[in-house]
Amino acid sequence: MSIDLSQFYEVFFEESFEGLDVMESELLALTPGDTDAETLNTIFRAAHSIKGGSGTFGFSTVADFTHELETLLDQIRDGTREVETYHVDLFLKAVDCLREMLNALKDEEEPNTAVADEITQKFLAILNDNGNAEPNDKPGDFGLFDDAPGALNEDPTAAATSSVESEVDDDSFGFFDDAPGAPSDEDADEGFGFFDDAPGVPPDNGAGIGVEADNDSRKRWRITFKPEAHLFKTGNEPIFMFMELSDLGEVSVCAETDNLPLYHDLVADDSYLHWQITLISDTDKDKIEEIFEWVLDDAEIIITCDSEVSREVDDQQSPSTTVSTDSQVLAPVTEQQSITPSTIEPEPAPQQIVTTPTPAKSQPIPEIKPQVESTPEPVSKKPAKDENAAPVVAKEQKKTAEATSIRVSIEKVDSLINMVGELVITQAMLSQYGEGEFTENRRMLMLEGLAQLAHNTRELQESVMQIRMLPISFVFSRFPRLVRDISQKLGKQVDLKLLGETTELDKTVMEKISDPMVHLIRNSLDHGLETPDERVAAAKPATGTVTLNAFHQGGNIVIEIIDDGNGIDPQIIRAKALDKGLIDENDDLTDQELIDLIFLPGFSTKAEVSDLSGRGVGMDVVRRNIQELNGTVEVESYLGQGSTFTIRLPLTLAILDGQLVTVGDNTYIIPLVNIIESIQMTPQQLNNAGGDLELFRQRDEYIPILRLYQIFNHEEAVESLTQGILVIVESDNGHIGLLVDDLLAQQQVVIKSLEANYQRVEGISGATILGDGTISLIIDIQGIINLAGLKKQHRNKMRALNNHDMVV
């Protein structure tokens, strides 16, 4: 008998993703040198379940991959190996990779194994290392002085690369460099390889390139560097300049050897080479000139700016800094260890000898080992390996329509069952009273029963709603990783504080709030927090703090995103807004009003656009998304002290406590959370300001009155202020009084969409069906205010037109 396993896929994926989440959060808690056994065990268990599950379901790629991860974890758990930061980094990458693979499998696609292979190789490298030498992929490790095992050996692959090079010209200096500044790829970071990919070799560290390529403000600089022969005698060293250049951007260097004399004419101390350098960077000419400052007198230097770098060019150039020469290799060929997985994997590299037809003493690298004879190796291995490490273009997250499910604690289900039990009892009781002759006594009992029923129904409803409520930690939990990644990328030190994680929130609201929050947090990190240097200069601790705080307030959940960064400068906003034509020179705006401008479409204050934020398509989308949830977002910012973004959301989108009111023949519902009080007015409390602005005075406060019948164009409503009732509500613009005819009951209503079959109606947030089957519309306070504003504008316009007519 065979069982169709596919029916369990959904469960497997769900559990695996949960496992990955657990792993991620535990990994972030893992501090090198101070390992908590329980943390490790948790990670291990999660990994093990994923491995087991994927094995069972025949996802061997996932299972194999997890196996390597598990092996390393096991060693760490046994204490045979200490946790290092790069282990954690690698584990996190592996988690990402697993998530990607599982997503692909879920979509019934073949997972892309390139990244997995790369990471597996790294795991193997670590495992084979016996825990001694750490692999050479630490940031800041200069491969030039490469001391990792095998580095001094002339690797066959390296020799192969060199032989490719040598085809062009047999006399060459070789110092092939690697890609400093390639973002998000620690392997390549500042790894000044002695020798690396020749141009045209498929990019092997391209995974991070796509991010950088987004930055379109970069230019292509061409630098011609022709030093005089005595360059070396002045103590200058071209390679150091190239290294500095590579700090500015992506550099590729091409050495011209046409001035190289014959061997017997060659003076060892003289420089015969000149260089063509291409720099892709957003830097300016001054910075480049600064690098060559010391050799200005001893060399001919031409710096030209080509153009903005198109993305296409970028992609071609993605091996980034490729310092290469077309010329003969003088140096013994050492492969930069950190570049490809293949190099990390300690292959026994056969001792080889490089033939150097011309001994060159003018080689710019002092560390060069004595030349040894070798036979050029045929091109081998390397291209094949490159394939594995081919750049993985971040696949666009495919949105698949998936059946979502939630996990509910057994407690909540039990209470639900309890409630249903009581409901059944009440029902039985009622039907018993309903039988037989009807007496006054029974009527009383019946009424009691009905009250009981109402009570049960309400409790049942609350319990059901409880099931949809999840702690906000479901959203918060993804942020530590996000903050870690972003702060690393930005070179900022950030401490993320999470408060109120147990605050509960409706699942639908939770799903929709996640994206706006990601955006706000990115913003805080990118725009808000300063770099450590700037912070120290501003007498703040070098580590910035971003606090996420969630709490309940009334019927709302409030989420605050607080940073102690530089705050928003209203004057910069003002300048920017003027520049974009969003405000007028004469507009007299308060600081708060200026700051609020960031929510306008097309607004970005940061001069440089980064791949994180600053494209100006952010805040307005954030605000719109939050408004769609009937929520609000506010910003408060103090220059130099930081900013606070406050998101206010209703707890649930499904049910609302409402006050029924009548306007003419119509019944409307005003959300109870908005209502402060309802009042019958006396003429003494009424004032008129500026003609048609009616004010109600209450305890030293003047509350503007909006006549609901006017706003909704209803007839036959109570028009006299003193005969109607004023419902005072809270809004973004302070307190507002709504004039209605009468108040009816307060009740909970189920919100139904008006938009589903009709369209958005200004001033109305939805509809509901009342007990008698009729529909009642729910009032949207903010919409009413907008509507009133529009009407007033319209009236003013009409009046202006009328006046105009009169003049004519």
Residues that bind another protein (CB under 8 A): 665-667, 711-714, 752-754, 756-759, 761-764, 767, 769, 773-777, 787
Residue that has been written with the tokens 């202006």 in this structure: 800
Structure tokens at 130: 């016996």
CB of 713 to another protein, least distance (A): 6
Is 559 in contact with 631 (CB distance < 8 Å)? no
How far apart CA 453 and CA 587 sit, in angstroms, is: 59
Task: With H, G, I as helix, E, B as strand and everything else as coil, classify residue 34.
Answer: strand
Q: What is d(CA 805, CA 515) in angstroms, rounded to the nearest whole number?
A: 52
537 vs 750 by CB, closer to another protein: 750
Residue 711 or 725: the one with the smaller Cβ distance to another protein is: 711
CB of 403 to another protein, least distance (A): 21
CB of 762 to another protein, least distance (A): 7
Nearest-approach distance from CB 748 to another protein, in angstroms: 16
**Contact, 463 vs 512, CB < 8 A?**
no
CB of 664 to another protein, least distance (A): 9
Measured distance CA(177)–CA(157) in Å, rounded = 15
Distance of closest approach, residue 763 Cβ to another protein, in angstroms = 7
CB of 712 to another protein, least distance (A): 3
For 223, the 3-state DSSP assignment is strand
Q: For residues 236 and 776, which CB has a smaller minimum distance to another protein in the complex? A: 776
For residues 248-275, b (16+ Cβ closer than 10 Å) or e, as one string? bbbbbbbbbbeebeeeeebeeebbbbbb
Shortest CB 606 distance to another protein, Å: 35
List all residues 6 or more positions away from 229 whose beta carbon is below 8 Å from its beta carbon: 267, 270, 271, 272
Half-sphere exposure of 774 (CA within 13 A, CB side): 9
Q: Which residues does residue 450 pair with via DSSP β-bridges, in sequence order? A: none
In the complex, minimum distance from the CB of residue 766 to another protein, in angstroms, rounded to a whole number:
9
Q: Which residues of 487-497 are buried (b: 16+ CB within 10 A; e: fewer)?
A: bbbbebbbebe
The distance of closest approach from Cβ of residue 750 to another protein in the complex, given in angstroms and rounded to an integer, is 9
Nearest approach, Cβ of 715 to another protein (angstroms)? Answer: 11
Which of residues 246 and 776 has its CB atom nearest to another protein in the complex? 776
- Phi, psi (degrees; rounded to nearest 5) at 697: -95, 125
Helix (H), strand (E) at residue 621: helix 619-628
Of 235 and 773, nearer to another protein (C-beta) is 773
Q: Give the Cα separation of 580 and 372 in Å (integer).
A: 65
Nearest approach in angstroms of CB 782 to another protein is: 15
Compare residues 311 and 624 and give the one whose CB is closer to another protein.
Answer: 624
When the beta carbons of 104 and 754 are compared against another protein, the nearer one is 754
Least CB distance to another protein at residue 775 (A): 4
Minimum CB separation from another protein for residue 671, in Å?
Answer: 17
Q: Which H helix or E strand runs over 108?
A: none
In terms of phi and psi (left: phi > 0; alpha: psi -120 to 50; beta: otherwise), the region of 699 is left
Judged by CB, which is closer to another protein: 182, or 764?
Answer: 764
Q: Which are the contacts of 333, defined by CB distance < 8 A and separation ≥ 6? A: 154, 155, 158, 159, 161, 162, 174, 195, 354
Q: What is d(CA 726, CA 736) in angstroms, rounded to the nearest whole number?
A: 9
Shortest distance, position 656 Cβ to another protein, whole Å: 15
Q: Compute the distance between CA of residue 701 and CA of residue 736 in angstroms, rounded to an integer.
A: 11
Please tell me the distance from the alpha carbon of residue 333 to that of residue 159, in angstroms, as a whole number.
6
Residue 331 or 787 having the CB closest to another protein:
787
In whole angstroms, give the CA distance from residue 721 to residue 18: 59
Give dist(CA 376, CA 352) in Å, integer. 9
- CA distance linking residue 164 with residue 377, whole number of Å: 10
Residue 590 CB-density burial (10 A; 0-12 exposed, 13-18 middle, 19+ buried): exposed
We find the least distance from the C-beta atom of residue 457 to another protein, in angstroms, to be 17
Q: CB nearer to another protein: give 307 or 757.
A: 757
Nearest residue (CB) to another protein, 75 versus 747: 747
Q: Which is nearer to another protein, 469 or 778 (CB)?
A: 778
How many H helices and E strands in the chain?
A: 23, 23
Report yes or no: 714 and 666 within 8 Å, Cβ to Cβ. Answer: yes
Phi-psi region at 778: left, alpha or beta (left = phi > 0; alpha = psi -120 to 50)? beta
Nearest-approach distance from CB 706 to another protein, in angstroms: 13
Nearer to another protein, 97 or 764 (CB): 764
Q: Measured from the CB atom, is 318 or 776 closer to another protein?
A: 776
Of the pair 557, 653, the CB lying nearest another protein is at 653
- The nearest distance, CB 107 to another protein, in angstroms, is 25
Q: For the chain, give percent helix, strand, coil, nearest 5.
A: 40, 20, 40
For another protein, the closer of residues 292 and 712 by Cβ is: 712
For residues 228 and 270, what is the distance between their CA atoms, to the nearest angstrom?
Answer: 8
Nearest to another protein of 684, 757 (CB atom): 757
Q: Got the DSSP string for 745-777?
A: EEEEEE-B-STTTS---TTEEEEEE-TTS-EEE
Is 666 buried (19+), middle (13-18) or exposed (0-12) by CB count in 10 A?
middle
* CA dihedral angle for residue 430, residue 435, residue 438, residue 441, rounded to 10 degrees: -50
Closer Cβ to another protein, 67 or 714, answer by number: 714
